[in-house]
């Protein structure tokens, strides 16, 4: 996975934990990667089986009650989460899914709620495909990490995802507050691509304290009085005779 890391200025407005939903034009998942997606519905799941056939990798349809019977133990929950890369669920049971598996999986994007009530099926399919290419970033400090692709993707795909990420982040972060940009993979060091120089923006001038100003004024006055009473003598250069050879 290729990640874009942003360094931000230390400001209070970037510490409130604001959520930013980033939509990537190209998914970060590899097309050759085999994974499965399950859809959890509030009622009978077979109603949407044929209608959601356009969603890639969506192989299993379960109702919430059927799923609860499969994940009654902790080991069963862990196996269920390992088997399915994403868990799509009806937005009306989002709270129940969070209570069953934990809110962390909902925040990380493993469990994705979808609005299906009284919505045309075309919009549901489009929304699912869009959500599978989306993730949530929380702005809560001086560093920000965003996924933009994988190393096996071509350059055009990675650049398109990078442009989409930056266009979205600049709606919440001022461009002047970005101090650095770098790229990093899972097993590599950070590679810097941009580094701001905030020191060169303005000349550093130390502000004197009132006590220091008073001392400086006293020294200037004393030096002025000393030079005033000083008798200037005429300077006569000394000429030394040359030494005989």
Opening angle at CA 57, ends 51 and 63, nearest 5:
55
All residues at 6 or more sequence positions from 142 whose CB lies less than 8 Å from its CB, including other chains: 7, 8, 9, 10, 14
Please choose, from the candidates 7, 2, 4, 3, the residue with its C-alpha nearest in 3D space to the C-alpha of residue 143.
7
Residue 34 has a pLDDT of 66
Q: Which residues pair with 114 in a beta bridge?
A: 90
pLDDT for the residue numbered 118: 54
Q: State residue 182's pLDDT score.
A: 92
Q: In the chain, where are the structural domains located? A: 2-195
Per-residue model confidence (pLDDT) at position 31: 45
Q: What are phi and psi of 118, to 5 degrees?
A: 55, 40
- Which stretches of the chain drop beneath a pLDDT of 70? 27-34, 47, 50-51, 53-54, 108-109, 116-132, 198-206, 231-245
- In terms of CATH, what superfamily is 2-195? Ribosomal protein L1/L10, domain II (3.40.50.790)
């Amino acid at each position: 996975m290729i990640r874009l890391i942003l360094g931000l200025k230390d400001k209070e407005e970037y510490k409130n934990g604001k959520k930013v939903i980033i939509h990537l034009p190209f998914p970060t998942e590899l097309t050759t990667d085999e994974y499965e997606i399950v859809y959890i519905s509030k009622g009978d799941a077979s109603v949407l089986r044929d209608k959601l056939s356009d969603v890639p990798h969506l192989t299993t349809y379960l109702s919430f009650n059927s799923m609860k019977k499969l994940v009654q133990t902790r080991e069963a929950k862990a196996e269920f989460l390992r088997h399915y890369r994403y868990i799509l669920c009806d937005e009306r049971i989002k709270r129940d899914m969070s209570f069953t598996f934990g809110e962390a999986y909902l925040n990380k994007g493993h469990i994705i709620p979808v609005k299906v009530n009284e919505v045309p099926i075309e919009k549901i399919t489009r929304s699912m495909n869009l959500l599978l290419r989306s993730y949530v970033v929380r702005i809560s400090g001086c560093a920000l990490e965003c996924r933009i692709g994988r190393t096996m993707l071509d350059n055009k795909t990675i650049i398109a995802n990078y442009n989409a990420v930056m266009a979205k982040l600049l709606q919440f972060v001022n461009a002047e507050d970005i101090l650095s940009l770098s790229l990093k993979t899972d097993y590599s060091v950070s590679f810097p691509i941009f580094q701001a120089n905030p020191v060169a923006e303005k000349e550093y001038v130390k502000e004197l304290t009132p006590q220091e100003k008073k001392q400086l004024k006293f020294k200037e006055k004393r030096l002025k009085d000393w030079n005033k009473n000083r008798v200037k003598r005429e300077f006569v250069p000394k000429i030394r005779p040359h030494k005989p050879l």
